Each structure stands twice: as structure tokens, then as C-alpha cells.
Amino acid sequence: MDGEQKQTSQAIEIRVLIANNQVGGIIGKGGMNVKRVRDEAGVFLSILKADYRNMQERVMVLKGEPEQVALAFQMVAELLVDAAKADPKRSAEAAAESLESTTLKLLVHRSAAGAVIGKAGAVIKETQLETGTRLQVSNDPLPGSTEKSLSITGPPSAIRAASLRVLHQLLDNPLRPGTRVVHYVPGAPLYPIPPYTMPLAYGQNGAVYPIGGSFVQPPPSTQKIAIPTVCAGSVIGKGGSVIRDLRAQSGTNISIADPEDTQPTERVVTITGSPQGIQTAIYLIRNLVEQFQPTPGAY
């Protein structure tokens, strides 16, 4: 029992930005690569679907013990190195320069970045010196969020060592209760809420806009996103209680389709309503997916 309690108390969730052209190499044919990472590292790993067109990055979410997550980082880094070596577009100079190195871009709350950096940069300097990696924290949070990017560059084994130090720093310095957390959404508009909006009431289907001195309702639109099948229950809730609350908060109609035979690990969510309502629903659903806690042993 003590071991189980320790494991629960030490679990951590971390988000990572990956480029669109890296997603295929991480997933692998038929999901073979990502399944191997999950099984061998013992982590929950999910690559979130793109919410917006023309976005250049995706978010990968990992959950587990620090040692498990660090091992998963090493395995993902190895996949990225292998994919880069096999890329015919890479020049010989670039291939020789970074043959065994790659970069993982972690997302950390701006209030937690200081713990990773340390006083006068002492912690980050020590991490770089002892692991042989290069760490860089962005000066400002990413657009529309409270998250900064933390880039770790080096060979996969060194990334594992550096990320383990980072994860322990985050666990040892948790956010204060009530800290505002806004996750970065790649490709999201910088100003998602249109001007002249009015508060959404229960069942209201969108904002109203002043045109010619009168208010009109914009026509509803529909957007589809995908969520991991394993998380669907937390979005639906017992007896549909959560999804009813999501509809009320966003003023949209939300339905979740059964998983398809070709994609059993994902379920499509259809959201219909105003642009503002759809963005609100996506934000709420994303938070539920990322807060999902898998059953112990069910990674």
C-alpha cells in the first residue's frame, strides 16, 4: 500500500510541443511506435488532435512517474533522431552536425519556470553541465497562455537525464493553489472572443453583434475534434452529467460518436454553435482530457 501511495503522490503530467512533421515518426505505422513507448515506459501518452487549420505544432501529453516520463522522453527523442536521419531533405552538413541530437520542447507554467532556472540561473546551468544538454526557457509565455516553452537539446540519453531533473524540480515546487492556468493551443486566434459579445446564458447558442443599431444572431457552425477513447468517460460524465454541463457553459450542442473500427483509440466530438461557443467548448473539453487520470496499471 505504501508503494502505491508513493507512486500516486509522485505522478506528474507534462505537455510537449511537437512539430507536425514529427508526429508520424512518433506514432509509427499503425500506432506501433507510440504503443511501444506507452508499454515500455509505463506512461499515459496522447497526441492531441489539431483544433485549427494550418497549425504547425501539436501538443503531446504524458502522465506517469518522473522516471517513467523521462524514459518516454528518451524513447521519443530516439524516434525523432531516427526520423531525421532517414529524411532525404536533410543536407549532409546538417546531418553530420546533429546526427545523434534532437530537441524536445516542454511546456511549463510561467510560475514554475523559475524553479527550473534557479537563482541567477544556477539550476539550469548545473543541469546543462551534468547532463551535457542545452536548456532554453522562453522569455515570455506562448500566445494566449500561461505556459513558457522549455527546450532541451542533446542526445536522447542526455535528454532523459535532463528531463528527469526538470520533472523533479516541478514536483518539488508545485503551483500555489488558485494559480491561473491557461494551456497553450497551437494555432488558436490571439483574440478568440469577438468584440461586442454578451454573456452566454443557459441554452443560448452564441454571441450577438450590433449591426445597424439592432442585434442579430450569427448562424451556427460546426467543428469536429477527436479525443482519446480512454478519456471519453470523463467528458461524458456519470449519466451524461459532464457533457450536459459543457453544453450549458458553452451554449453549444455537443455529441460524441462511437469509436470507428479503423480508429478504435479515438472518438470524434461534434460541436455546433457560435464560433465563441465552439472555442469555449473545445477549451473545456481539452482541459478534461488533459486532467484525465488513468487507472493505476492501465497506462
Residue 208: what pLDDT? 41
Grid coordinates belonging to 24: 508520424
User: 3-state secondary structure string, 106-150?
Assistant: EEEECCCHHHHHCHHHHHHHHHHHHHCCEEEECCCCCCCCCEEEE
> Of 64-73, 75-84, 289-298, which range is least confident?
289-298
The residue behind cell 457560435 is 274
List phi, psi (to 5°) of 285: -65, -45
Grid coordinates belonging to 164: 528527469
- Read off the pLDDT of residues 8-18 as tens digits, 9 standing for 90 and up: 458 899 999 99
Nearest to 16 by CA among 67, 64, 76: 76
- Read off the pLDDT of residues 82-135 as tens digits, 9 standing for 90 and up: 988 887 666 555 555 556 899 999 999 999 999 999 999 999 999 999 999 999
Residue 201: what pLDDT? 36
- Read off the pLDDT of residues 212-264 as tens digits, 9 standing for 90 and up: 444 445 567 888 888 888 889 989 998 999 999 899 888 899 999 998 888 78
Domains and CATH numbers, the chain: 2-172 (3.30.310.210), 209-290 (3.30.1370.10)
- CA-to-CA distance for 64 and 298, rounded, in angstroms? 11
Task: Measure the N-to-C terminal CA separation of the chain; round to a whole number of Å.
Answer: 19
- pTM of the entire predicted model: 0.63
Beta bridge partners of 268: 226
- CA-to-CA distance for 183 and 146, rounded, in angstroms? 6
DSSP 175: P
